[in-house]
């Protein structure tokens, strides 16, 4: 492609980011909002759980599931690991509101089993480099690119851009690309933004805010 096409695309995506930043100031993603409501600090283990629980599900339902887990005091990685092994039924019951609860209970158990048995703690697992973490996560059942990248960006604080349904709508709305495949869009965003965790986190959060319809009319994104 001619060099100016790329330059224009750079300015377009980056400009969209800047205009969203202007509109929202300090964006509040899922987790910041959740933590504020729960008055807790950002909890990496909860982020990992949320990444799986929110698959094809309303965030409200995920909150119900997380509340159940919290009430039952099974948020810690050790407890979930144990319960996944010894009392899968309880785990299923607690996360039931999030939907697809049998699959999700299985997938959460397998993920935690992997972490605990190979790395002992989430922190230690996330100490490795980005590519290595991502490759390992993608091997786990029920962890596709979006779930893996959510974990890596929000819990691991690695600079990797998350592509989800909201991002795709955003891309279509602003005619940023014709292809909508995961890898292509991820490259597109990453190549046109500074390689920065905060930028990726905030941009993604603001794309979701736009898509949720704050200030949206008739299914449009309203920018500027």
Q: List residues binding DNA (CB under 7 A).
A: 29-30, 54-61, 64, 96-97, 99-103, 140-148, 150, 162, 164-166, 181, 204-205, 208, 211-212
Beta carbon nearer to DNA, 98 or 192: 98
Helix (H, G, I), strand (E, B) or coil at 209: helix
Beta carbon nearer to DNA, 116 or 164: 164
The Cβ of residue 30 has, within 10 Å, a number of other Cβ atoms equal to: 19
Q: Minimum distance from CB of 164 to DNA (Å)?
A: 5
Is 122 within 8 Å of 45 (Cβ atoms)? yes
Beta carbon nearer to DNA, 15 or 67: 67
Environment class of residue 38 by beta-carbon count within 10 Å: exposed (0-12), middle (13-18) or buried (19+)?
A: middle
Beta carbon nearer to DNA, 53 or 80: 53
Q: Minimum distance from CB of 166 to DNA (Å)?
A: 5
Beta carbon nearer to DNA, 103 or 136: 103
Environment class of residue 179 by beta-carbon count within 10 Å: exposed (0-12), middle (13-18) or buried (19+)?
A: exposed
Q: Minimum distance from CB of 100 to DNA (Å)?
A: 4
- Rounded Cα gap, residues 109 and 65, in angstroms: 15
Tokens of 111: 């993920």
Is 120 within 8 Å of 81 (Cβ atoms)? no
Is 120 within 8 Å of 127 (Cβ atoms)? no
Is 214 within 8 Å of 35 (Cβ atoms)? no
């Amino acid at each position: 492609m001619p060099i100016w096409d790329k330059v224009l695309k750079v300015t377009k995506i980056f400009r969209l980011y800047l205009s969203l930043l202007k509109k929202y100031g300090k964006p509040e993603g899922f987790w910041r909002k959740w933590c504020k409501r729960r008055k807790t600090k950002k909890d990496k283990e909860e982020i990992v759980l949320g990444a799986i629980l929110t698959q094809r599900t309303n965030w409200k339902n995920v909150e119900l599931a997380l509340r159940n887990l919290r009430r039952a005091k099974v948020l810690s990685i050790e407890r979930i690991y144990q319960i996944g092994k010894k009392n899968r039924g309880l785990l299923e019951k607690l996360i039931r509101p999030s939907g697809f609860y049998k699959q999700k209970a299985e997938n959460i158990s397998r993920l935690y089993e992997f972490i605990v048995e190979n790395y002992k703690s989430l922190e230690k697992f996330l100490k490795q480099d980005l590519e290595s973490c991502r490759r390992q996560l993608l091997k786990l059942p029920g962890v596709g690119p979006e779930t893996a990248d959510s974990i890596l960006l929000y819990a691991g604080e690695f600079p990797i851009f998350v592509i989800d349904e909201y991002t795709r709508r955003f891309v279509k709305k602003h005619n940023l690309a014709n292809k909508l495949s995961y890898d292509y869009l991820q490259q597109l965003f990453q190549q046109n933004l500074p390689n920065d965790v905060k930028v990726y986190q905030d941009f993604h959060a603001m794309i979701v805010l736009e898509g949720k319809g704050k200030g949206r009319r008739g299914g449009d994104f309203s920018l500027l």
